[in-house]
Chain A
Amino acid sequence: MRTRTGALRLRWSCHRVLKPVVRSAGVPARTGGTSSSYILLLISRTQIRKFEFKIAPYTTHPSPTSGYNCNMKTHLLSRRSFLGIGLGSGLAALTGSQANAMLPRGGRAKRVLVIFEQGGVSHMDTWDPKPDAPLEHRSPFKPIRTNVPGMQFTELLTKTARVADKLTVVRCMTQPTPGIGNSHPKGSQYIFSGEAPGGPVDMPDISSIVAHRMGTDALYLPSNVLVPGTDEQAEMSRVGFLPPGYTAFKSGGSPADPNWKVPNLGLLADVDERRFKDRHDLLSALDVGFVNSGGKDVEAMQSLFAQASDMLTNPGTRRAFDLDTESPAMRERYGTGHRGQCYLLARKLIESGVRYVTVDVREPMHSYNHGGSVTYSGGSNMNWDHHDAIYSPKHTNIPNGGAGAGRFGIQTWPMMGSTDQAFSTLIEDLDQRGLLEDTLVCFVTEFGRTPKINDRQGRDHWTFAFSFAFAGAGVPGGQVVGSTDRDGGYINSPMAYTIEDYAATIYEKLGIDRSKSLQTPTSRPIYIAAKGKPIQELF
């Protein structure tokens, strides 16, 4: 909702189903303070429903667009209730099981690879070009054609444009409650867990829940890996009330560093395999107390020791993490910097059978390229949080700058340059290896950026509309879902999807039954992605 010539225009992004039945809207707005107002919805010939709104100045973010925040005071109609009417009285008694039958039955994905580009990637500079936006706010990067007729990205995704036939781009992502996930920690937690932070119980990461529900196919590898887990927001990843064993395993460091190795998954430097075996033999000879007594914890520990030993000595473990087993040409294809090598490592782990891999790459200022060191001068925090000088050819440290210092311009190599290279290669590579068949790939970010450029030549946080991209596991290729208005600020398509919907999509693709609850230690039932519905167009 926003002001335009003194009237409120109601947006339906999150309450999309009501739109067709609006009969009366356009309520005068006041320019300050809080006011109450209402609209009337003509629901059927006999029912008129009044919805009250509280209109308060939008204060959660100093957005260049003066926005208004609306809180529906009365309860909204659920989608189910609406369908009951929309389809006429004959179908009014649409039942739960029928409704469920209408939902897509997924289950095509065996693994999930999430590329979490943290900081809030500008959607109108990448997936959602806006050539008709007012000139002063328009992205300098022109729309280009992709290999799918009618599907356009900006020129920052030139390489990705060549794999557009494998992608569905969802341009109607939104955070349903503005403000909740508007900060980076909260927004990141939202992405990791698929649920708006701040509820009574912290939701575990989607990846932890998946690992908990599905286990692993490769016992010698962790089932849930965060590559590399060094982003400042990696702290927001949490296992919550699930057993700690489902915590995301952080690979750490930078795989582009020639000296990089994974901690604790290879044997220690001065314990070679022979010595490890000697120790084990000695242990079997001496671990004789507790035989036939001790109970289930003791037995559990015994089998975990066996699994850990397998992890430590199985050649598959090392191979999964060893980038040297890849050809130089392959390493080159991904891009030999931090981002490219992280994406490559993610592909290797997926290929080795890891259930859920999340890449949360952020190019460090002192990084590596071609095995040598490289410094991005001024790039002390190169995530996508472009509050300042978003189109700078180098760092964004400008005089009188704001929260956007330490980044690099969006078009530079450590930002979209390496991302375009790595992501396009990843899709191509997964496809060529046949892995795209049952791997769901998601390219996500916490939120988008303001359609207007601020006075520091930056763009601020924008939770109303942003873009995600998906591929693999039955996701149709060459598809765009949803749309935004002329400058990319608001969704104007009939459909809009939330981060909860994104979570529901992942569970549905994996065939995880969301009607089965998890339990907290205090026996509270927790339903996963309870507020989400799978994104239909991805099935």
Chain B
Amino acid sequence: MRFALPLALALLALPAFAFAQAKPAAATSNKPILVTALTLTPAEIRLNRARDYCQVVVTGKVGDQTVDLTDRAQFRTASAGVVKIENGRVTPLANGKSSLMVTVAGVQQKANITVTGVGQPDPVSFRYETLPILTKQGCANGSCHGSPHGKGGFSLSLFGYDPDIDRVSLTHDGFNRRVNVMDPAESLLLKKPQLQVPHVGGKRLHKSDFALPILQGWIQEGAKTSVPSNKCTSITIFPDSARVLKSPFLQQQVRVTAHFSDGTERDVTAISTFETSHPNVATVDPNGRVTGKNRGQAGISVRYLHFLESIYFTVIEDVPGFQWRAVAATNFIDQHVNDKLKQLQYLPSGLCSDETFLRRVSLDLTGLLPSSAKVRAFLKDTDKSKRDKLVVELLSTEEYARFWALKKADLMRVSPTHLTNGRAEKFSKWLVDATRSNMPYDQFARTILTAFGDTQQVAPANYFLAIPTSEERTEMTAQVFLGSRLECAKCHNHPFEAWTMKDYYSLSAVFARTQTNKAGLVSLAKTGDVQHPTSHEVLTAWGSTPEQSANPDLDRRAAFAAWLTKPGNPYFARVEVNRIWSELFGRGIVDPVDDFRSSNPPANVPLLDALAKDFEEHGYDRKRTIRMVCASSAYQRTMETNAFNANEDVLFSHAKIRLLTAEQMKDAIGYSTHSMGSTDGLSKLASDLSAKLASRVSEYNKSGGEPGMEKFDPEIKRLTTDLARVENRMDYATQRPYPEKSVFNAAFGQPVRETACTCERRSAPTLMQALELLNGETVHKMALSSADKYAGLTDEQAVEELYLSALSRFPTTREQSTATSYLKKETDRAKALADLVWTLVNTREFLFQH
């Protein structure tokens, strides 16, 4: 470590250094470069209105890299006076034709220009210009006037989702001082953001801003808010695919085009809003110019009206001394992970030891620690494929089925609070059965989403019983199966995504006819529609055609489920493989796992696509995906980092250390203290109890007990309860059908199953956890009870057994001697053993999965 530290420091300083070097290179744009192909976007320039403009993007090939050359290009027009060109933006001066000549490094390209409409009126559009500008200047942000209560008495709809609110707010409220048609310059809309009068939100509009004349013009023309007949149908972005930025080509001009229902299109680059997901990697200016800053990946999202699109950028820097060392690739997963690491110049860590692998994969697949016997056997095994065999073995266990069903049950609110009279157990059992039999995931989704009937008989129908309103069903279904947080779109268009209120209520319409009653019956009604809350349009259910949606005899859910599970669905397979990935790596490729949106880019796009494709092509086989991931080198890496991946934590170049979950923690303490028996003994325990119960029942009948009243016999009652407890594995937090409410579980962030958000599970360390571990009754009692279990062993044996049980490894010589001498020193051996157990479960190595 002594030598590693300065090296790590040097690396920390590296990105800034590299950037400092890159900058002058970018500035000296006349340094000779060899451009092999030059294209202009758009290839032909048509300006049809007096205030039209066109952002030209110049793209070329340098070597094998496609690069943006807009800032290096020289622009000329064939005839003067038709257009003006500034930073690649062409604006009209007079009607006529001309052509644009662009030269970069001696290579030339030409585009025809046609200008019409100059001299004709071109009024500012409230919807298509004024509102996007209010968003762009930040006025309609969630933290400013777009917040639910507005700011300073002035309230706008968030990012202009409701033009009507904005119309009233701008032209009627505030005593008409916000826009002053008689004296536009006196309008608060202009004075406040320019700080001509004080403005809490600071300066938001500058003299040089493109937006200023448009706003002025809009007011001058009478602040008209009429609804245009022409609808904006989509936006397109150039560049339309991911780009790599590498010094000296660290810039990229973005161009945004809006398409309208009458077939026209308009350049809206200057009034679109740009945001970056990772400002330290790439920034973007208000004109849509992206600049790479440091090594990494960033998404640039572009918003115009309610449209939101993102483009992904990878910024590459050469890391001095970096040399890619081929790492064994087990399957396509490793190829994609390694490609990305190689591209960004991170060196993956090596493979972990057998001990670590056994502990890691056992906790991941079953939630439980391996027994000491299992550790011994696995370490002794010399089979080269023992790791793969272990994964297969673990996937066939009951523990796997229960632990992985628990993850789904967490999201689907399986708790006796929502599902009473044994329904929680039944739904949970169904989920366990489906996991055990490895039900194809498309079938799993369809079965749940189209279930109806008596929830005591049809277990999956409990999905609907647990969430009785169609709004909640919308949010839950979106979160579970689309990996998207739609709840924002209930009241306004999603702030970071293209989800609109219309999407929300169309999905709501899917569930509008699914009814539940007090008797727990889920049934389908013939009527029931959902209106858009602001436009009052009756919405077609998602996945249905308007005819299907209107047909009272069709189950709208079936159409939705068919859409969802059709191969090629952009969400379904990706969301599920990403969840699996996240369970195994402690971080999703898209993270958080239920926040899929274009502005939250995947860490590795080809990897996610490949996993999803494989999942689709192999019958949505979850066990297959788990098996492949566990077999990959990516999964089997150590947590130790090297000089070339120390600060990397999203591309899976090393294992991520995670605090055990509440359930894992509880059972791990139980297992390593031996206060909980292994699940191996459960089937025998259950059959013993059943036998006892059967014999007691026959005894009861023989002794003339009243038929049908057995359940009131105290002994039968007790045995029945005990049997249910064993069968439902109620003593195992990782295996129970629903969570146990306890101080310990709450402290460790176990979700209470109130929402479908994985964020309900908390994983950050807290003071309450420290108190529970150091001084809690749960840990203390389990530690005390362990003394008996170790009593028959010698000190050395006890220490070894304890290390194998708690840490899945043998103690080192030093640990063995420290621990043994503690045991020998103390007169009360039971107490000393309890102390030692307490100590081991409080080590970081125990508390964290690594």
B-binding residues in A (CB < 8 A) = 47, 75, 78-81, 84-85, 92-93, 95-100, 200, 222, 243-245, 247, 264-265, 267-268, 271, 275, 278-279, 282-283, 285-290, 292-295, 297-298, 300-302, 304-305, 307-309, 311-312, 517, 521-525, 527, 530-531
Contacts and interface: CB of A to CB of B under 8 A. Distances in A.
B812 to A, nearest CB: 9
A312 B775 contact: yes
19 contacts: A96-B199, A200-B487, A244-B746, A247-B768, A265-B771, A267-B775, A278-B835, A282-B836, A286-B843, A290-B657, A294-B848, A297-B763, A298-B848, A304-B770, A307-B767, A308-B775, A311-B767, A521-B757, A525-B147
Given A95-B198, A298-B848, A527 B491 contact: no
Given A81-B174, A525-B142, A530-B147, A304 B839 contact: no
Interface string B628-655: 0000000000011100000001000000
Contact of A283 (B490, B765, B843): B843
A286 B818 contact: yes
B152 A282 contact: no
Contacts of B746: 244
A268 B835 CA distance: 13
B764 interface: yes
A302 B767 contact: no
B764 A243 contact: yes
B148 interface: yes
Nearest to A99: B152
A79 B843 CA distance: 58
Contact of B844 (A79, A93, A302): A302
Contact of B842 (A85, A278, A283, A289): A283
A268 B775 contact: yes
B759 A522 contact: yes
A302 B152 CA distance: 45
Contacts of A243: 762, 764, 766
B850 A308 contact: no
A295 B657 contact: yes
A287 B843 contact: yes
B782 to A, nearest CB: 13
Given A80-B152, A264-B776, A293-B639, A96 B198 contact: yes
A247 to B, nearest CB: 8
Interface string B543-571: 00000000000000000000000000000
B221 interface: no
A286 B815 contact: yes
Given A96-B152, A287-B843, A290-B848, A527 B775 contact: no
Contacts of B847: 301
A47 B175 contact: yes
A275 B825 CA distance: 13
B240 interface: no
Given A200-B491, A282-B822, A530-B149, A301 B770 contact: yes
Interface in B351-377: none
B722 interface: no
A475 B491 CA distance: 40
A75 B173 contact: yes
Nearest to B168: A75
A290 B757 contact: no
A298 B759 contact: no
Given A268-B775, A271-B780, 11 more contacts: A75-B168, A93-B197, A222-B767, A244-B749, A268-B780, A279-B835, A282-B818, A290-B845, A293-B640, A294-B850, A297-B764
Contacts of B153: 78-81
Contacts of B835: 275, 278-279, 282
Contacts of B762: 243-244
Given A81-B174, A200-B487, A530-B147, A289 B152 contact: no
Nearest to A266: B775
B747 interface: yes
A245 B842 CA distance: 19
A271 B198 CA distance: 63
A292 B768 CA distance: 25
What 8 pairs across the A-B complex have the smallest Cβ distances? Answer: A289-B845, A308-B770, A96-B200, A80-B153, A95-B198, A521-B759, A304-B770, A78-B153
B276 interface: no
B657 A298 contact: yes
Contact of B765 (A264, A300, A521): A300
Contact of A95 (B174, B197, B743, B770): B197
From B173, B762, B767, B840, name the one whose CB has the most chain A CB atoms within 10 angstroms: B767
Contacts of B147: 525, 527, 530
Nearest to B838: A279
A268 B782 CA distance: 14
Contacts of A99: 152
Contacts of B488: 522, 524
Contacts of B658: 297
A245 B766 contact: yes
A150 B799 CA distance: 77
B177 interface: yes
A413 B300 CA distance: 67
A286 B839 contact: yes
B769 interface: yes
Nearest to A43: B175
A243 B747 CA distance: 11
A297 B143 contact: no
Given A97-B198, A200-B487, A279 B839 contact: yes
B175 A84 contact: yes
B659 A283 contact: no
Contacts of A95: 197-200
A100 B198 CA distance: 12
A278 B767 CA distance: 22
B10 to A, nearest CB: 17
Contacts of A298: 657, 844, 848
Contacts of A275: 831, 835
B42 to A, nearest CB: 36
B844 A289 contact: yes
A530 B148 contact: yes
